[in-house]
Structures are given as C-alpha cells and as structure tokens.
Amino acid sequence: MKSVTVIGASLAGLYAARALRAQGYDGRLTIVGEEAHPPYDRPPLSKDFLTAPSGEGSSAAEDAEDRLALTDAEELTALDADWLLGTRATGLDLRHRAVRLDTGRTLTTDGLVLATGAAPLRLPGPAPAGSYTLRTLDDARALRAELTRGPVRVVVIGGGFLGAEAASSCAALGHRVTVVEAAPVPLARQLGAEIAQLCATLHADHGVTLLTGTRVRALRTAGDRATADDEATAADRVTAVELTDGRLLPADVVLTAIGVRPHTDWLDGSGLPLGDGIRCDAGCATPVPEIVAAGDVAEVAGVRAEHWTSATEQAATAVHNLLAGRTVRTHRALPYFWSDQYGVRIQFAGHRAPGDTPRIIEGSPDDRSFLARYERAGRPTAVLAVNRPRPFQRHRRELARAGVPASAG
C-alpha cells in the first residue's frame, strides 16, 4: 500500500495515523479534517474548559485551549503526514478509491480510514441567538463566552452524559440551571433505571432542577414567536423553552444535548453500507478491505460506540486490518466510558443488557460513592463506579479477564 488517506482529523483519525506509523506503514499519509484546528480532545469541552475563564488574550483561556491539544510539533513531524485542515470530504468514488474534497480537489488513495465522528442532533427550526450545541472547540468557545458574562438562566435540553456535565459546569459557574429530559429517568437506557436514578440525584444535590418525562415543543424568542414558525429568524434571541406539557421555562441560554448522528452524509450513494454509522465487521473493516472506519462514525459488528476509549482502540484495530488487507484482528475490548459531573467521576465498563441486575457491592449511594456490579444469571456483565476509581479498575480488569456472558437476547 503506497498511500493511505484518513478522513477526520480528530481523536480516531490521529490514533489511526499513529497506528499506521507504529505498525510500520511508511508510505504517503494524508489526513483531511473539516475543522481548522489540529486534533484536540473533546471531553474537557463540557467540563474544565467550560468553567475556565474566557476572554480574548486571557492567559487562563489560552492555557485551557493548550491543554486540549492531542499532539505536538514533535509528533507531527514524526508522523510525516500531509494535513489538509479546514477541508471537508464531500464524496467517495469507491471504484477508483477517490475522495472528493470541498476545495474541488480529488484525492486518489490505496487505503482509506474513515474517522468522521458525529454531529449533534438539533431541534427543528432555526436556532435563535443564545441557543447552542456542544461538539466542537468553536461551539465550546461560543458557549463559554456567553456563560462568563454573568449569572443567567440556563436550560439544558437532554439529561444524558453531555447534558449532565454541561449542567454541572453551568451550576459551578453560578447559573440557574434546569435540565429537561424526555425519559422518566435520564441515562436509564445506558445504566438501567435503578442506577440511573441514583446518578440523577446529583442534579438536585447541586441545586439544578431536573424535569423528566417531558419534551421541548419550541424555543420562544424575544418576539414571542416559536422558532418552529417559518417567520422566526435566527437573529431572534431565545427567551424561554416551551415544553410539550405546556410549561414555559424562562431561559437566557439554551444548550441542546439530545444526542448525535454519525457523520456519514458525505458517503450517501457511495455504495458503502450505512446503517447507524458506517457498517463494519468486528475488525472495523467495510466490505471493501481497503476501507476501514473507527470512532463515533463506525458501526462495528452492529454497535456504534460514542466513547473516547473505543475511538482509540478501534483505530488501532482498523489500521491493523487495513495493512493486512483483510480482517485478521477483531475489536474485542470491553466498552468503557467515564463522565465527570458535580465533582464526581462516574465510570462504566462492560456489556449491560436490559434485565441485568445491579448490586451495590461497595460504598453507599447516600455518600455519592459506590460501586455497582451488574449480573446476569449470577455472572457479572458490567461494573459502574461513582467516585471509586481504584476499585473500579480492579473490577474492570476482572470483567475483561472473565469475559461477559452472551446477552440473554
């Protein structure tokens, strides 16, 4: 293989580039990224970065941005890659293995790593001023600038990990925060209702109002027109969030955190199989062995993960198989993610299925410090810790060693 092109210059893309060089690939390497920034880390964007002081020329703000960097000049030299940043891939010609770029250029390549991640879902209608999503550094800069102007009323739409972390950061900054969640209990799908309920108590502990079982009908703006109305313009400023149960929540700032969709639009019609992401086998390979995928955009053996660790591990597996020309290694790592909110670290590893029984085996939910093990037919399937990092790692290792029983279906 003489040339490999990586599409997506973020976490999975960088780890794929590292893996290519580490696994001995010495051909031409091109990395295409839509964002103008060199690879940076997203997890801090909803956490420390949001609470760091903002402001043009502020050294604290610059430090916060510096800490996001995933790579440095020395590594960039060692990777010996052509970086096409601020450049979007717009189409793929499978037969000629050619990637069309928004600059008008077409790149032909022997191997292709697809690492285009995911984009936030948005509410229908135009987004009025004061309403945000949080995925990129530019999103985080804009939201932080708004939040550091003084105490405001913030409504976070969506009580998942991102919403909870952002709510926690807003509360730490002294804002009045309400979280709106459509499900009866946030995170119940990921953690099961019982444990999710325990995690949800963190909101109330920190003075954040959590409204569950209700959806957003529309964002209201200064002219008191719903933004779903065709006449509304994005220049209008958000003033309230209208819920489907009729309640109107006054809001100066709204963050929509209702999930993501994989960045696959540019592959429509290419012939690559697309489902909930780019469909790959267990080795992150598409049906075309010279094309592999990794990270939030990849549906690996039917599962699309949206976790930092999966993106890095999949990149190494994908590259291994790309260089081998067929799937010789599969991605078997135990799924793992963490979330930092309200001064607490939540960690989860394993394959929980609905019906698995959680048991608290250490600590106490009352102390906001406990470790729960999920079990199926008496065998552990997953582990969750709230503020118990050391025992968590031990249980995670044991779970990885023992393997997780097949899902009851």
Ligand X SMILES: Cc1cc2nc3c(=O)[nH]c(=O)nc-3n(C[C@H](O)[C@H](O)[C@H](O)COP(=O)(O)OP(=O)(O)OC[C@H]3O[C@@H](n4cnc5c(N)ncnc54)[C@H](O)[C@@H]3O)c2cc1C
Q: How many CB atoms lie within 10 A of CB 360?
A: 16
Give residue 38's Cα distance to chain centre: 18
**What does the per-residue mask of binding to ligand X show for 285-304, with x meaning CB under 6 A?**
----------xxx-------
Whole-number Å distance between alpha carbons of 222 and 237: 6
Q: Taking the complex as a whole, how short is the minimal distance between the CB of residue 398 and ligand X, in angstroms?
A: 21
Whole-angstrom CA distances from 31 to 36, 110, 273 are 12, 14, 23
**Minimum gap (Å) between residue 92 Cβ and ligand X:** 10
Q: Does 372 bind ligand X (CB under 6 A)?
A: no
Element (H, E) at 168: helix 161-172
Decide if residue 42 touches ligand X (CB under 6 A).
yes
Among 97, 144, 153, 263, which residue interacts with ligand X (rule: CB under 6 A)? Answer: 263
Q: Does 32 bind ligand X (CB under 6 A)?
A: yes
Site for ligand X in 194-233 (CB under 6 A): none
Residue 118 contacts ligand X per CB under 6 A? yes
How many residues at the interface with ligand X, by CB under 6 A?
37
Binding mask 52-91 for ligand X (x = CB under 6 A): ------------------------------------xx--
Among 306, 313, 349, 356, binds ligand X (CB under 6 A): 306
Q: Among the candidate windows 39-47, 75-83, 280-288, 346-354, which touches ligand X by CB under 6 A?
A: 39-47
Measured CA to CA, the distance from residue 130 to residue 234 in angstroms comes to: 10
Question: What contacts 316, CB < 8 A, 6 or more positions away?
Answer: 15, 16, 19
From the CB of 24, what's the least distance to ligand X, in Å? 23
Q: Which stretch binds ligand X (CB under 6 A): 209-217, 225-233, 308-316, 321-329?
A: 308-316
What is the C-alpha separation between 403 and 379, in angstroms, rounded? 10
Residue with Cβ nearer ligand X (170 or 232): 170
The 3-state DSSP class for residue 177 equals strand
Distance between CA atoms of residues 172 and 306, nearest Å: 26
Interacting residue with ligand X among 266, 348, 374, 392 (CB under 6 A): 266
Distance of alpha carbon 229 from alpha carbon 226, whole angstroms: 5
Task: By CB under 6 A, tell whether 46 contacts ligand X.
Answer: yes
Q: From the CB of 270, what's the least distance to ligand X, in Å?
A: 12
Q: Which stretch binds ligand X (CB under 6 A): 10-18, 121-129, 183-191, 342-350?
A: 10-18
Residue pair 146/130 in contact (Cβ under 8 Å)? The answer is yes
- Tell me the C-alpha to C-alpha distance, in Å, between residue 235 and each of 120, 227, 252: 21, 11, 14
- Cα 4 to Cα 81: distance, rounded to the nearest angstrom: 10
163 sits near ligand X (criterion: CB under 6 A): no
Pure H helices in 192-228: 193-205
x/- string (CB under 6 A) for ligand X, residues 334-353?
A: ---xxx--------------
Contact call for residues 341 and 202 (beta carbons, < 8 A): yes
State whether residue 3 is helix, strand or coil: strand
Q: How far apart are the first and last CA of the chain?
A: 41
User: Tokens for 371?
Assistant: 């470790």
Q: Tokens 């229908």, residue?
A: 124
Q: Which two tokens stand for residue 178?
A: 């309400």
- The interface mask with ligand X, positions 133-162, x = CB under 6 A, is -xx--------------------------x
The span of 114-122, 214-222, 237-245, 382-390 binding ligand X (CB under 6 A) equals 114-122
List 206, 217, 261, 307, residue binding ligand X (CB under 6 A): 307
Binding site for ligand X (CB under 6 A): 7-13, 32-35, 42-43, 45-46, 88-89, 115-118, 134-135, 162, 263, 266, 295-297, 306-309, 311, 337-339
